[in-house]
């Protein structure tokens, strides 16, 4: 029996249609994970694999944190489920208040979801409904950005700007897109590029074309993650904020990756000094242990919805999920936020970020490396492809890394890194060295 299969039969392997995975390739050569602790996974063939992406940007505090497990178990034994509609349980209110303490001032009302994608949908629906409540029903258009990633549901895919995620599904919602901020002039920038704030002015062109009276909101990731770590050019987000303000357009930050320490701060809004109207969060909120997301809005937005209704929720916001504010997820999130604070993990992340920047840019002269970007404890390489070749180099690099005992993410033409906040310095060094070796091997056709 192949131990890479963790004892699974072929029928079992075939039964699971895996997400964002080349299923046929995986099922020929499975990369099965059977356990996790601290910064390491255990693979089915018994190896320790360094977790170079904190799961999927989720597990910044490291794996198998006893504090979180304990909180979950306690919650399970007291209240395993509570109806989320028309009834409450204390954990969700405590968590909501705890989250608002980490958000920019004014963003102090929290709507719970179960994922980043659902947080995005919630924010887009709130934006449209908000203008309707204010008597401006024509303000419906949603503006995204090229290369943006906002999850996989229809609204998120529509404002999203990664072509491969949209094309196969046919027509999306009617949206418009800002240009992305990945400029050739900024190749190999360290942290935020200096050049590119003017790209925010494209919003003025969109406004001219569609008229602000038809536009509900602009949604951007303050630092785009899935497209391969695109930090905002200096001044860019502020310029977007100003234009939105002048034209009565809501600004939504999708902070599903950036909230709770990835950038060394509670939010990207805090790091970049720009306060949006709505922030979406997920991933690190529960350290990835239980699915949970949320949409956090300015108090004024919430209050606009509270002007009618009373007992009739249909007059407030007819929206919510069976598992919104699930008691077990709330317990996991409360324990996570407690742990992040107690162990000073935002600060740890910020300190490691300097080191990652230093090390990763040492790879700039390697063959195949077209660009390197970093922001907070996140970095990406853009890998060249030979003309006419499919985008397989990054995947092959990621496979080499797995063989060498490191998990990194390949997406499109990029390799992405985002290690846990509890990583040791020498582990970053080890990962970057292994990455250099892997790139060289792939460049040499090995
Ligand atoms: N928004 C952003 C910015 C994300 O990075 C992601 C996930 N990578 C999502 C939304 C979607 O989150 P989920 O996969 O939890 O639905």
Same domain assignment for residues 222 and 355: no
Same domain assignment for residues 138 and 229: yes
Same domain assignment for residues 296 and 382: no
Same domain assignment for residues 147 and 203: yes
- On whether residue 94 sits in a domain, the answer given is yes
What is the pLDDT tens value at each position of the chain, 446 positions in all?
458 889 999 999 999 999 999 999 999 999 999 999 999 999 999 999 999 999 999 999 999 999 999 999 999 999 999 999 999 999 999 999 999 999 999 999 999 999 999 999 999 999 999 999 999 999 999 999 999 999 999 999 999 999 989 999 999 998 999 999 999 999 999 999 999 999 999 999 999 999 999 999 999 999 999 999 999 999 999 999 999 999 999 999 999 999 999 999 999 999 999 999 999 999 999 999 999 999 999 999 999 999 987 788 888 999 999 999 999 999 999 999 999 999 999 999 999 999 999 999 999 999 999 999 999 999 999 999 877 776 689 999 999 999 999 999 999 999 999 999 999 999 999 999 999 999 999 999 88
Same domain assignment for residues 370 and 320: no
Number of structural domains found in the chain: 2
φ, ψ for residue 330, nearest 5 deg: -60, -40
Q: How far is the CA of 430 from the centre of ligand 1 (A)?
A: 28
Same domain assignment for residues 151 and 238: yes
Same domain assignment for residues 348 and 338: no
Sign of the alpha-carbon torsion through 312, 316, 318, 321: negative
Domain boundary among 325, 342, 359: 342
Are 439 and 393 contacting, i.e. CB atoms less than 8 angstroms apart?
no
Q: In the numeric block, which tokens belong to residue 123?
A: 């924010």
- On whether residue 14 sits in a domain, the answer given is no
Same domain assignment for residues 149 and 298: yes
Domain boundary among 316, 342, 368: 342
Q: How far is the CA of 385 from the centre of ligand 1 (A)?
A: 27
- Ligand 1: residue of 165, 282, 285 to mutate (most ligand atoms within 8 A of CB) is 282
Q: What domain range is 151 assigned to? A: 66-342
Measured CA to CA in angstroms, residue 116 lies from 139, 284, 383 at distances of 24, 11, 27
CATH number reported for the structural domain that contains residue 230 in this entry: 3.40.640.10
Parallel, antiparallel, or unpaired: how do β-strands 107-113 and 409-411 relate? unpaired
- On whether residue 95 sits in a domain, the answer given is yes
Domain boundary among 321, 342, 363: 342
Q: How far is the CA of 279 from the centre of ligand 1 (A)?
A: 13
The whole model's pTM is what?
A: 0.98
Whether residue 54 has its Cβ less than 6 Å from ligand 1: no
Same domain assignment for residues 137 and 45: no
- On whether residue 7 sits in a domain, the answer given is no
CATH number reported for the structural domain that contains residue 53 in this entry: 3.90.1150.10
Same domain assignment for residues 434 and 409: yes
- Taking the C-alpha atoms of residue 217 and residue 440, their distance in angstroms, rounded to an integer, is 44
């Amino acid at each position: 029996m192949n131990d890479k299969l963790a004892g699974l039969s072929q029928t079992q392997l075939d039964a699971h249609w895996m997400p964002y995975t080349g299923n046929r390739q995986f099922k020929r050569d499975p990369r099965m994970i059977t356990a996790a602790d601290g910064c390491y996974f255990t693979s089915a063939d018994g190896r320790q694999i360094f977790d170079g992406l904190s799961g999927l940007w989720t597990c910044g505090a490291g794996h198998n944190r006893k504090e979180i497990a304990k909180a979950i178990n306690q919650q399970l034994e007291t209240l395993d489920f509570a109806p989320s509609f028309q009834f409450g349980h204390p954990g969700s209110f405590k968590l909501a208040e705890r989250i608002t303490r980490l958000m920019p001032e004014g963003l102090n009302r929290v709507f719970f979801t179960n994922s980043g994608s659902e947080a995005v949908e919630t924010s887009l629906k709130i934006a449209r409904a908000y203008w309707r409540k204010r008597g401006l029903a024509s303000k419906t258009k949603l503006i995204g950005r090229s290369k943006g990633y906002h999850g996989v549901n229809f609204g998120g895919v529509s404002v999203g700007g990664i072509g491969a995620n949209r094309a196969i599904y046919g027509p999306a919602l009617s949206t418009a897109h800002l240009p992305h901020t990945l400029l050739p002039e900024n190749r190999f920038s360290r942290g935020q590029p200096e050049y590119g704030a003017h790209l925010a002015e494209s919003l003025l062109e969109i406004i001219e074309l569609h008229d602000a009276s038809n536009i509900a909101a602009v949604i951007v990731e303050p630092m785009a993650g899935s497209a391969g770590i695109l930090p905002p050019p200096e001044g860019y987000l502020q310029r977007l904020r100003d234009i939105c303000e002048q034209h009565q357009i809501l600004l939504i930050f999708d902070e599903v990756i950036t909230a709770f320490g990835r950038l060394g701060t509670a939010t990207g809004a805090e790091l970049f000094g720009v306060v949006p109207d709505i922030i979406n969060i997920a991933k690190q909120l529960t350290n990835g242990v239980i699915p949970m997301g949320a949409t956090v809005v300015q108090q004024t937005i919430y209050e606009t919805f509270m002007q009618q209704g009373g007992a009739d929720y249909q007059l407030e916001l007819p929206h919510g999920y069976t598992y919104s504010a699930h008691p077990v997820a709330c317990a996991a999130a409360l324990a996570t936020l407690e742990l992040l604070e107690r162990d000073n993990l935002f600060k740890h992340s910020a300190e490691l970020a300097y080191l990652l920047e230093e090390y990763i840019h040492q790879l700039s002269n390697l063959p195949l490396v077209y660009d390197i970007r970093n922001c907070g404890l996140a970095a990406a390489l853009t890998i060249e492809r030979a003309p006419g070749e499919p985008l397989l180099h990054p995947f092959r690099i990621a496979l080499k890394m797995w063989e060498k005992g490191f998990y990194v993410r390949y997406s499109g033409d990029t390799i992405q890194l985002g290690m846990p906040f509890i990583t040791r310095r020498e582990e970053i060094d080890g990962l970057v060295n292994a990455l250099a070796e892997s790139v060289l091997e792939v460049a040499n056709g090995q």
